[in-house]
């Protein structure tokens, strides 16, 4: 009887997700394989035969992967340091980490435009010290998009990893050291494997967020198209809802595929879960 009431508590959430997410997703996917003549996948064939479309998809995947890797490299040591602090200092550091998430992506993107533009702070500084003779073309490139996305999603992976690292028992690390393991060996053989769940969750959040982000790529990328800005262009500017639906479906499939691959890698790295 108790389980019956627990299932009833799930009912509102399940109905909400079904009506406002699952059904629209299936309707969107269904519209891409049905037309006046019946079932067809010609839209997908045309998409994958067009080098321009493929280039946009590959650029988006590359930007998302690089963003995820940079966030891991920057976030792992930062999270490890925060996890070793006392409760008061840890709370302050986590507050400072989360604080950028409260700022609008539009504001952050415009801030980076001021910093990395041709007449921005970075170019003026490098030219004033004589490191470069001409301004660097960073803005409106994939590099600018990656910088903005790292700034946007780095707090997510730090917070995720801190939650995992603070549950690692210090006695476990001391035991490994007492058995002759160096600090590097303890870190690589004990800490990293135990952090795999946090790494996977954080990586999925960063990758999916980077793959589907619109505001940051639109402002920092300019004419450099990624799949989200390409979808917006077809849906709103060109009013080509069929192609926009195909792009949206491809984004869903790629996202599910990447999540599956990351979970598979996590199981291999940490078979015991």
Cα-Cα-Cα-Cα dihedral of 109, 110, 112, 116, to 10°?
130
Helix, strand, coil % over all residues of the chain, rounded to 5: 80, 0, 20
- At 57-67, the pLDDT tens digits run 999 999 999 99
**Is residue 266's pLDDT more than 60?**
yes
Per-residue pLDDT at 273 exceeds 60: no
Domains along the chain with CATH numbers: 58-269 (1.10.3720.10)
pLDDT, one tens digit per residue, over 43-88 is 888 888 989 999 999 999 999 999 999 999 999 989 988 988 888 8
Give the pLDDT confidence of 75-133 residue by residue, as tens digits.
Answer: 998 998 898 888 888 889 988 888 888 888 889 889 999 999 888 899 899 888 888 88
DSSP 245-272: HHHHHHHHHHHHHHHHHHHHHHHHH-TT
Strand residues in the chain grouped as ranges (E)? 34-35, 38-39
- Report if pTM > 0.85: yes
For 222, other C-beta atoms within 10 Å of its C-beta total 15
Torsions phi, psi of 50, nearest 5?
-95, 120
- Kindly provide the b/e burial profile for residues 85-97, where b requires at least 16 CB atoms within 10 angstroms of the residue's own CB: eeeeebeebbeeb
d(CA 197, CA 193): 9
List the structure tokens of 81. Answer: 């340091």
Q: What pLDDT does 270 receive?
A: 63
What is the rounded distance in angstroms from the CA atom of residue 12 to the CA atom of residue 143? Answer: 43
Confidence of residue 272 (pLDDT cuts 50, 70, 90): low
Residues in CB range of 223: below 8 A, 6 or more apart: 140
pLDDT at 271 over 70: no
- 158 or 7, greater pLDDT: 158
Quote the tokens at residue 145. 């998009």
């Amino acid at each position: 009887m108790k389980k019956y009431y627990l299932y009833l508590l799930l009912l509102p959430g399940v109905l909400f997700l079904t009506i406002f997410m699952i059904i629209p997703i299936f309707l969107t996917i269904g519209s891409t394989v049905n037309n006046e003549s019946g079932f067809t996948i010609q839209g997908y064939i045309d998409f994958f035969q067009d080098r321009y479309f493929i280039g946009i998809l590959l650029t988006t995947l590359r930007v998302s992967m690089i963003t995820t890797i940079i966030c891991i490299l920057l976030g792992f040591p930062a999270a490890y340091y925060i996890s070793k602090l006392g409760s008061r200092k840890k709370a302050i550091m986590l507050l400072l980490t989360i604080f950028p998430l409260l700022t609008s992506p539009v504001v952050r993107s415009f801030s980076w435009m001021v910093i990395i533009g041709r007449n921005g702070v970075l170019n003026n500084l490098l030219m004033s010290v004589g490191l470069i003779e001409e301004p660097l073309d960073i803005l409106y490139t994939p590099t600018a998009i990656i910088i903005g996305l790292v700034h946007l999603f780095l707090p997510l992976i730090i917070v995720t990893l801190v939650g995992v690292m603070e549950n690692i028992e210090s006695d476990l690390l001391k035991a490994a050291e007492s058995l002759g393991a160096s600090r590097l060996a303890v870190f690589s053989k004990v800490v990293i494997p135990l952090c795999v769940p946090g790494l996977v969750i954080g990586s999925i959040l960063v990758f999916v967020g980077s793959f589907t982000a619109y505001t940051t790529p639109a402002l920092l990328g300019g004419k450099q198209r990624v799949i989200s800005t390409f979808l917006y262009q077809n849906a709103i500017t060109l009013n080509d809802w069929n192609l926009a639906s195909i792009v949206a479906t491809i984004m869903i499939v790629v996202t599910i595929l990447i999540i599956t691959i990351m979970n598979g890698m996590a199981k291999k790295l940490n078979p015991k879960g």
